[in-house]
Chain A
Amino acid sequence: MPVSAENTPLAEMYNAHHGWLQRWLQRKTGCSWQAADLAQDTFLRILTSPSNADQISKLHEPRNFLTTIARRVWVDFVRRDALEKAWLEALKHQPEPVVVSPEEQALILETLFQIDEMLEGLGNKVSQAFLLCHLEGLRYAEIAERLGVSVSSVKKYMAKATEHCLLLMFEEPL
């Protein structure tokens, strides 16, 4: 992405509030290193999101805006961390060792993160049906048996989960 940060509203915002945001995050997290990362990621997220970037020049309370974005960045951080741990845990229980390069690992975790994010808010059975179909390749009848529901319910769950994901992709392109 071409980034010329000179004299843009974002650059002004960065100069005016970056130090403050980092101190705010440090108070919240108790860790200066993590605060530095989160502050950096917060500005990066604003920079890479056109809808956020547009808002900057119209803001009356830039610090409220920043802390809102920073909270989201933190929530994602915690979610990523939980997924990484879950992935390592899952690998431990594989009957055959799974060997992945660091690059593949990063790609897998990013994908898991996106899937987890997309499926959040769906009912447990809906997301389970979707995952069992795609990741385990189970037939609807098998999924129905596992979840203790009818085959027609599985079909409804699949439609619902797919619709949910498509609408999210539409609103926030991957």
Chain B
Amino acid sequence: MSDTQATRKDTLRAAARWYALLCSEDVTAQQKHAHAAWLAEDPAHIQAWQQVEKLRQQLQVIPGTPSLNALQIKQRQSHSRRAVLRGFALLAAGSALGSLAWQQAPVESWMASHRTARGERREYTLADGTQLVLNTATALDVVETSTTRLIRLYEGEIFIRTGQGAKGVAAAKALQVHTEQGTVVPLGTVFTVRKQGTSTQVTVLEDEVELIPQLAGGKTQRLVAGEQAQMSSRSVEVATATAQADSWTRGLLVAVDWPLSRLVAELSRYRTGVLRCDPAIAGLRVSGAFPIDDTDRALQAIANALPISVDRLTQYWVTLKSSE
């Protein structure tokens, strides 16, 4: 270490001692005066003091009590954390840690950079012109690396229209959507991705996408326009796409000869509280376009079309029953 570095460290040590003195409730006017004189002595002292200020400011931007509690909780747990770290060297492939990553999903989705509340819909345009629409109760992160633009979908549903690549460097990045089950690689496309419990539903509206389940040993599945797939972490099941699978981007839920139970389940995604239907009427067939931004109106429309009534215990506990 050079002399100047040693001197700078000494100055920082002196600044720390001054700081500890000035933070005290017993600091005297004389001591404050002496501190000012110390600062005036040498520009290096001022420089060191600026570092103290920087440190202090950093501690001021966070809410005090919860931050203190969080740090204390974390420190109490650091013992078990160290145990985890020691284990790192010993972990073998296929260990429990693989699933651990996703057990953290609630935390991750809470922390996600883009999210919508229940009943909310939101649209973003990414740097390369890619259009991204988040359906109700959706959480995702957009992670940019030098080569890839990665969308990590934690929960909910998204619509993507990939950018045209007109903006030079940004457009050269490959877009990928990751979910718990695997990766979706669009090949210049319009498509939707929806998280459904332990599977991911992908619907292709234009062109093609490639699906790569997490644990399928690198096997991929090509999906073309008009197809819809359920991807688990090990396999992909392809079927014909639901009609108007992207109608939610226009505020509509389109049902074509659906059992009532399915329509109710879909509508409940857009509402807070419980919405269910009596098993006796669950199999009634229903078709129509229902507004998802006003699910009460949608329920009224169903009640007008079918022999059912809407039983509201409260706004948050609604049951559809037979009216016959």
Segment 79-110 of B: residues with Cβ below 8 Å from A = 81, 84-85, 88-89, 91-101, 104, 107, 110
CB pair B58–A111 under 8 Å, yes or no, is yes
Binds A, one of B13-21, B119-127, B239-247, B271-279: B13-21
Provide the bound-state CA to CA distance between A159 and B16, in Å. 5
- Note all chain B residues with C-beta closer than 8 A to A124: 75
B68→A132 contact, CB < 8 A = yes
CB of B71 within 8 A of CB of A166, answer no
Residue contact B146 to A3, C-beta cutoff 8 Å: yes
Q: Which residues on A sit within 8 Å (CB–CB) of B75?
A: 116, 124, 127
Number of interface residues of A (CB under 8 A): 72
For the complex, give the distance between the alpha carbons of A83 and B58 in Å: 17
Q: Note all chain A residues with C-beta closer than 8 A to B66.
A: 87, 90-91, 94, 98
Q: Among B12, B63, B91, B145, which residue has its beta carbon within 8 angstroms of that of A29? A: B91
Give chain B's interface secondary structure class: helix
Closest chain B CB from A33 CB (angstroms): 6
Are B23 and A158 in contact (CB-based, < 8 A)? yes
CB of B233, distance to nearest CB on chain A (Å): 10
The CA-CA distance from A81 to B100 in the complex, in Å, is 11
Q: Is the CB–CB distance between A131 and B23 below 8 Å?
A: no
Contact B70–A90 (Cβ < 8 Å): yes
B292 to chain A, nearest CB (A): 24
Rounded to whole Å, the gap between the CB of B270 and the closest CB of chain A is 22
Residue from the set A94, A109, A137, A163 with the largest chain B CB neighbour count within 10 Å? A163
Determine chain A's interface SS by DSSP, over half rule: helix
Whether A166 lies near B52 (C-beta < 8 A) is yes
B70 touches A112 (CB 8 A): yes
**The residue from B59, B61, B92 contacting A27, defined by CB atoms under 8 A apart:** B92
Q: How far is the CA of A137 from the CA of B78 in the complex (A)?
A: 25
6 contacting pairs across A/B (C-beta < 8 A): A86-B70, A98-B66, A109-B111, A116-B75, A156-B20, A163-B17
Apart from A87-B67, A98-B66, A108-B67, list 9 A-B contacts with CB within 8 A: A30-B97, A34-B98, A82-B74, A86-B73, A88-B110, A89-B73, A111-B62, A169-B51, A170-B8
- Interface on B for A, CB 8 Å cutoff? 8-9, 12-13, 15-17, 19-21, 23-26, 48, 51-52, 54-56, 58-75, 77-78, 81, 84-85, 88-89, 91-101, 104, 107, 110-113, 115, 145-146, 178, 214-215
